[in-house]
Amino acid sequence: MNKAEKRFLEKIRTKVSRAIIDYQLIEENDTIVVGISGGKDSMALLDILANRLLSSPVKYRLKAVHIQLTDVPYYTDSEYLKSFCESRNIDFDLIIDEQKIIIPSKQPCFYCAWNRRKLLFEYTAKHQFQKLAFGHHKDDAVETLLMNMIQHGEFSAFPVKLQMFDGKFEIIRPLIYTSNKELERYAKLIGYKPLPYDCKYADSNQREKIKSLIRQMYQINPDAVSKIFKSMQKIDTKHLPFQK
């Protein structure tokens, strides 16, 4: 790895550390579940948090958890995930759930995502972890914003930190300052091996359609995602309709 690549890795790790500090996402002796799907984002998050432990004065414990739903027609290589975690001295847990979630005539992606989150929530609460970390980044926030505007008519995305179940644990999103492109490069540099994704429902996923819309926005302005992300912090209510 050359100097430029090392500088890039450090740049991304610094961005994540800044988000952690800005939002007070991790504190001394925190116990943290990292939900890993096998995709580049969650694997990059796991690597960054593990790397941060080597130099940060704030110490915490990580546990990587992967949810496998047998009713969904694709599987991630759990042995690869386990090996990835072991190489970073992180405990790994695989949860296999056999409940039926594919409902005829219903869009399956919502139920798939909902069940994965539900099982992660249950695991985090049952084992008394204090935090549940997701690999959502800047592009994901913008995708969610656009989806909620188009599908539900509301201006909302997701918070960087959110208390769950009367404070039993918190959801945290340390990658919020990073972009999809940055994480693609980061994952490649740390030796992440992209895993096959062959779910037959992927093309009908509403979020995939929003991703396509964002790719068109990049053609209009290469900085489109950052601009939309910034707009969530600069809402000028005086220049919006429906003001009395």
In the chain, where the domains are located = 3-234
Identify the pLDDT of residue 100: 74
Check residue 193 and give its pLDDT: 86
Task: Give the C-alpha separation, 105 to 166, whole Å.
Answer: 35
At 82, which helix (H) or strand (E)? Answer: helix 78-86
pLDDT averaged per 10 residues, the chain (length 244): 95 97 97 95 97 94 92 78 95 88 66 86 97 96 94 94 95 97 96 74 71 90 93 89 74
C-alpha 17/C-alpha 13 separation (Å) is 6
Complete edge-to-edge strand list for the sheet that includes strand 60-69:
91-97, 60-69, 30-35, 131-133, 169-172, 161-164
Output the pLDDT for position 110. 72
CA distance 51 to 176: 18
- Cα 123–chain centre separation: 17
CATH number attached to the domain at 3-234: 3.40.50.620
The pLDDT of residue 216: 92
Encoded tokens for 124: 């985090």
State the Rg of the chain over Cα.
19
Question: What does pTM read for this prediction?
Answer: 0.91
137, 99 contact by CB (below 8 A): no
